[in-house]
A and B are shown apart, each in its own frame.
Chain A
Amino acid sequence: MSKKKSTKTKKRYDGRKPDELRPLKIESGVLPHADGSAYIEMGRNKILVGVFGPREMHPKRFSKPNMATLRCRYHMAPFSVDPRRSPAPSRRDNEISMVIRYALEPAVFLERYPRSVIDVYAEILEADGGTRTACINAASVALVDAGIPVRDLVASCAAGKIDGQLVLDLGDYEDKEGDADVPLAYMPKTEHVTLLQMDGILSQDEFNGCIDMAIEGCKQIYEVQREALKKKYGLDEGEAN
């Protein structure tokens, strides 16, 4: 029994406990020309998200007569990774743009804005593993900052496995060297999971463990998201409920 415990408290490469998030900072309302915006630092990830809309959609034939369209774009700055990358969108970027949309769509009351479009643009200034989850966290805050009604904030983080141990919020190194990575997005109030992806190999028990761990992480992130919005609108504790 005591042996088992010693493996459980093994420190991670950056000194974190297995179920500890990276340092997290979220600010809302950072862009003067966007309808809503947010800046997030999640570990060494630095991401700016701008929301525009609801506005008229061009080309018009892509608009939906009964609801708004949510468009998301995930884009990495050429200097966000080492070595420098081309600014042109890659297949990976396109997929991540799509999963961010999938993660956010269930939260937004799109039916309130027929024929219009809501654009969510995420710019990755510096990448450090888990950019998609950080984007979702910032995008959700930016949507609310834009005054768009949502069912709940969407919080997101990953859990995974490295050296046989389940860990929360994988950094770049753990993402690449680890055995598995499970990004998850969650709406704490409605208790709905809006995104679940997985890379690598996990047993069923480990997978369940990852989900539990990621959801607990999301709940912590949710509080930071709420604080960011309260700060922007100068609200005190409790008023925003």
Chain B
Amino acid sequence: MSRNAGIASRLKRNKITEVVASGKRMDGRDLLDFREIQVKTGVLEKVEGSAEAYLGKTRVLVGVKFGKGYPFDDTPDKGVLMTNAEFTPIAHATFEPGPPDERSIELARVVDRGLRSAEILDMKKLCLVKGKSVIMVHVDIYVLSYDGNLIDCSALAAIAALKTAKMPVYTVKDDNVKLTKKTKAVKIRKEPLAVSIQKIGSVGFTRDELKTAVQIAAEKVEELRKNV
């Protein structure tokens, strides 16, 4: 996943393959076991929604913020959902500060695709004045510790944060949008989560293996779902 963080010596690589072939993992897990999953919601006070997800030593914080903005030209009656990911340099010794690189862009886009494709929010309900004013939803993924599998961890944290978020209520009168002091729960229509499956020992999936992987993911996702 990352340039240097994923490098393992040939000796270790052989050992990993050997252990996996025997049906176990280096840390004693079975092949289809998650590491310890933990989700904390409402970890921040100033944001509308927040959640921290742990997958073993991987730790991701997601903050959800709402704002008022302009709709895109091609969807004048829909709100805007934006997902952004930051790899903080405290997450791993090989992570460096700087503008988002391809890895953080990939992470944000993969999580975003999950949220968007599942149509978790009714975007039309986020429209305030058609073509002029809509509610923006910012989902910010903040990687605090990297120990593999950021996608599953981030998607989990994102859903947990959105589910517990309280969005501001606006009133519209003759195209004038006013922010009220009231908040309401965000209506989440679906809860898309991610499960990554890795094949160790040889390169590439065959057609049957691919189907098996999808089946495994469909079963394993329930384990994640218990946490949100």
Within 8 A of B (CB), among A175-194: none
User: What sequence of 0s and 1s flags, for each residue 176-189 of chain B, a beta carbon within 8 Å of any chain A beta carbon?
Assistant: 00000000000000
**Which residues from chain A contact B149 at a C-beta distance below 8 Å?**
none
Q: Do A75 and B88 contact each other (CB < 8 Å), given the known contacts A33-B146, A48-B144?
A: yes
With a cutoff of 8 Å between Cβ atoms, the chain A residues found around residue B147 in the complex are: 32-33
**Stretch among A62-70, A83-91, A233-241 lining the B interface:** A83-91
User: Is B89 interfacial (CB-CB < 8 Å)?
Assistant: yes
Q: Which of A37, A121, A125 lies in contact with B142, CB distance below 8 A?
A: A125
Contact with A along B53-72 (1 / 0, CB 8 A): 00001000101110100000
Q: Are the CB atoms of B88 and A79 closer together than 8 Å?
A: no
Q: Are B99 and A88 in contact (CB under 8 A)?
A: yes
> In the docked arrangement, what's the CA distance between A28 and B227, Å?
27
A80 within 8 A of B: yes
CB-CB under 8 A from B84, the residues of chain A are: 78, 87
Q: How many A-B residue pairs have CB under 8 A?
A: 89
Among listed B9-17, B42-50, B151-159, interface-contacting one: B42-50
Q: Chain B residues with Cβ under 8 A from A31's Cβ?
A: 90-91, 144-145
**Please, how many angstroms separate the alpha-carbon atoms of A126 and B138 in the complex?**
16
Query: How many Å from the CB of B88 to the closest CB on chain A?
Result: 5
Chain B residue contacts of A35, Cβ below 8 A: 93
Give the chain B neighbours of A48 by CB distance below 8 A: 90, 144
Q: Is the CB of B97 within 8 A of A121?
A: yes
Q: Give the distance to chain B from A35, nearest Cβ to Cβ, in Å.
A: 8
Q: Is the CB of A33 within 8 A of B142?
A: no
Q: Are B93 and A52 in contact (CB under 8 A)?
A: yes
Q: Tell me which of B65, B97, B145 contacts A79 (CB under 8 A).
A: B65
Q: Does A77 contact B (CB under 8 A)?
A: yes
**A50-B89, A121-B97 in contact; A79/B64 too (CB < 8 A)?**
yes
Q: Which of A44, A50, A52, A75 has the most CB of B within 10 A?
A: A50
Complex interface residues of chain A between 22 and 80 (CB less than 8 A to chain B) = 31-35, 37, 44, 46, 48-50, 52, 55, 73, 75, 77-80
Chain A residues, CB < 8 A from B97:
73, 75, 121
Q: Which residues 134-181 of B sit at the A interface, judged by CB distance below 8 A?
A: 138, 140, 142, 144-147
CA gap between A80 and B146 in the complex, in Å: 21
Which secondary structure characterizes the binding site on chain A? Answer: loop
* Cβ distance A134 to chain B, nearest Cβ, rounded Å: 15
Q: Which residues of A contact B144 (CB under 8 A)?
A: 31, 48, 123
Distance, CA A161 to CA B63, complexed state (A): 33
**B63 in contact with A78 (CB, 8 Å):** yes
Tell me which residues across on chain B come within 8 A of A73, comparing CB atoms: 89, 97
B residues less than 8 Å from A121 (CB atoms): 88-90, 97
What is the minimal beta-carbon distance from A230 to any residue of chain B, in angstroms? 23
Are A46 and B90 interface neighbours, CB within 8 A? no
Chain A residues 99 to 121 lying within 8 A of chain B, measured CB to CB, are 119, 121
Check: B113 CB closer than 8 A to any chain A CB: no
Min CB distance, B14 to chain A, in Å? 25
Q: Which residue in A34, A46, A75 is a CB contact (below 8 Å) of B44? A: A46
Of chain B, the residue at the smallest CB distance from A46 is B44
CB pair B65 A80 closer than 8 Å: no
- Say yes or no: B67 contacts A84, CB within 8 Å: yes
CA distance A181 to B57 in the complex (A): 39
CA separation between A75 and B100, bound complex, in Å?
A: 14
B112 within 8 A of A: no
Task: Check if A123 sits within 8 Å of B90, measured CB to CB.
Answer: yes
- Is A79 in contact with B90, judged by CB distance below 8 angstroms? no
Q: Identify the A interface with B (CB < 8 A).
A: 31-35, 37, 44, 46, 48-50, 52, 55, 73, 75, 77-84, 87-88, 119, 121, 123, 125-128
A-B contact pairs, 8 of them (CB 8 A): A52-B89, A79-B63, A79-B64, A84-B67, A84-B140, A123-B144, A125-B44, A126-B46
- A sample of 8 more A-B contacts (CB under 8 A), given A34-B93, A83-B65, A87-B140, is A46-B44, A78-B140, A79-B63, A84-B140, A88-B99, A119-B89, A123-B90, A126-B47
